[in-house]
Structure 1
């Protein structure tokens, strides 16, 4: 998973909803060989989960739930797939995928455009993304962006976030040179023509450590409470919640167990992910998992918990900067109702 590809989805999520929403079809049920009480045949439900990009440690809990049999215990046959051409949010909203990995900003944009996405869990409790630069660029705070070259992808969100944190430091975003990174990854781009870029530390930052290329990291959440939003999140659509809540409940019960496994056993979870997706760098997966595992739940009462103020704060921030056409009705954008062990 390259930072460019992941952040291009994160920052360009407004484009994901141009595809509109069609009528989805439910996956067919299969009869298993086992029997429930009363000698009735057990029904196994096929479920499709769509990732946001290539598999990485943000997704470990899904693979753990699948490969350790947690989904099977709930009567689910789960297929984990790469995003479709229309984007994960559009595929989930239209019912072409049952569940997916998205981001709070993507769901926020979707909801304000009439797309029926609903976030059902925060994969990571706090925002682990931010602006990163090799230490030799001497970028220690947002005001140091002035006179430097930023590698991005032209999303309005990028400049809005940069301006927001630079304003706090009394700096001028117009003094940053914006460069389109194209297909280059972070490590190629900073050696070629940029000074800093927006990354997820759990992947690109950890990879920099392994390469022996230390970074200065400016987390956006450290500048503004509004920028401590949920990224990524698990999503489904309103139809699934209304018409098959037991499926959503079963899926979340098993998924929570998968993430709890990744929280409590990072080394074993990393090995499981590497086995499931052998093309990933095994050393990076292990190091990333060790860094990320404590951050899935962090200070929340349980894994997946979402707070209304987090949704409201970020939506208000977006609306004030004209990134939304209208305010978000946050109570419809997320729910904690399907998390196990409800307080």
Structure 2
């Protein structure tokens, strides 16, 4: 049984603390450059080897990196890129800070918290321009505002993943963990489906789709959007910057590493542009990397991720940092008690991003995406 649904982001605007692995080369999540991409480096006098560590396991959230590898964009930039999956035992910003990767994909607040601990990590490109945090409950329960959380059981991912929610609740006059009971939430929707929590966290591109891929035992059909109440934290004005690309400041200042970083960004931008225009191909590439999520779920995710990236609200190229969005994110991080101060001016820089854009100037890569049109995704039971 299937359900047709226009992308959720067209309607809505736009792990627990873990131990860092001592050596990335020992991880099973290591993804070596594809054989097809290798031929693209024939023009190179030399090839630079780098590693990028992702926030989580292989899924469409990171499709642009896989596409940059599989389509040969990294090789064209004379790069040999190892893509390291994240997971419960991998904290990307800590892996980066320890010198076990040249690049990391991470959220702004988490990364700045690590920077506060004297790690010289710098945001060099802000890929996601929009947030994706939702609070979801059963429609029949009538939970429509954050004030309605009082006295309820509320699922929370914790470990910094509840920061945006905490800030929104505080601003709305609801005390986190005092006015309601906090229930530790896994990264799925089981607490809500099993009625073990009244309201739970979700992302537009992942957990919300899990609900719509689940069979309603009363109807024998998939659950529908009208079965749920959704509070979009971004619509309430609580938007935090999520996936960006980070590097170490000292590494960027050494030798030609700034040039390597610019080439990495340029190829990555090509990968994301490719996934905007070839969503189904990118889903196939993600599935081929061993994703545990099904193809229709991944297509939904790919579609929603594209909505977080394209187009940049300011009309700038992909990867451009918006100062106002940065400031709002930092304010939320400080209000939530994760950050103790405003990061120094070196916390993010645009010069490497600008060099990356210049490398692609005159080519046929669309870095703006004004013409992006979301797909209509047909979900199936279990996201198969």
> How much has 1:54 moved relative to structure 2?
0.9
**What CA deviation, in whole Å up to 9, does each residue of 1:81-112 have, x standing for no partner?**
12384621111112211111111111221222
Matches of 1:285 and 1:157, distance apart in 2: 21
The answer to whether the Cα contact below 8 Å between 1:123 and 1:233 also exists between their aligned partners in 2 is: yes
Q: 1:96 to 1:143 in 2, by over 3 A?
A: same
Matched, 1:128 2:132: yes
Could you tell me which runs of 5 or more consecutive residues in structure 2 were left unpaired when the two chains were aligned. 1-14, 23-37, 215-221, 362-384
Alignment: residue pair count: 310
Q: Deviations over 1:177-199 (max 9, x none)?
A: 11223xx4432211141122222
**Partner residue, 1:24:** none
Specify which of 329, 332, 336 is matched with residue 346 of structure 2.
Answer: 332
Q: Secondary structure at the match of 2:45?
A: strand
- Taking structure 2 as the reference length, the TM-score comes to 0.72
Matches within 5 A, 1:177-196: 177-181=181-185, 184-190=186-192, 191-196=194-199
Correspondence for 1:270 = 283
Q: 1:282 to 1:98 in 2, by over 3 A?
A: same
Residues 35, 180 of structure 1: CA spacing in aligned structure 2 closer, same or farther, 3 A cutoff? closer
**How far does residue 32 in structure 1 lie from its aligned partner after superposition?**
9.0
Aligned to 2:123: 119
Structure 1 residue matching 2:275: 3-state secondary structure: helix
Q: Give TM-score scaled by structure 1 length.
A: 0.80
Matches within 5 A, 1:7-18: 8=15
Residue 258 in 1 paired to residue 261 in 2?
no
Distance (Å, rounded) in 1 between the aligned partners of 2:232 and 2:126: 18
Inter-partner Cα distance in structure 1 for 2:19 and 2:112: 12
Query: Which residue in the other structure is 1:71 paired with?
Result: 74
Tell me how far apart the structure 2 counterparts of residues 327 and 236 of structure 1 sit (CA, whole Å).
Answer: 19
Q: Cα distance, 1:287 vs. partner?
A: 1.9
- Mean Cα displacement is larger for which, 171-180 or 56-65? 171-180
Given the superposition, is the C-alpha separation of residues 321 and 51 from structure 1 closer, same or farther in structure 2, using an over 3 Å criterion? closer
Q: Which has the higher helix share?
A: 1
Q: Is the 8 A contact 1:65 1:257 kept in 2?
A: yes
Match of 1:233 in 2: 244
What's the Cα RMSD here? 2.8
> What is the distance in 2 between the residues matched to 1:341 and 1:53?
27
Matched, 1:108 2:112: yes
| CA distance, structure 2, for counterparts of residue 279 and residue 186 of structure 1 | 13
Q: Provide the residue aligned with 1:285 in structure 2.
A: 298
Secondary structure of the structure 1 residue equivalent to 2:357: coil
Q: What's the secondary structure of 1:202's corresponding residue?
A: coil
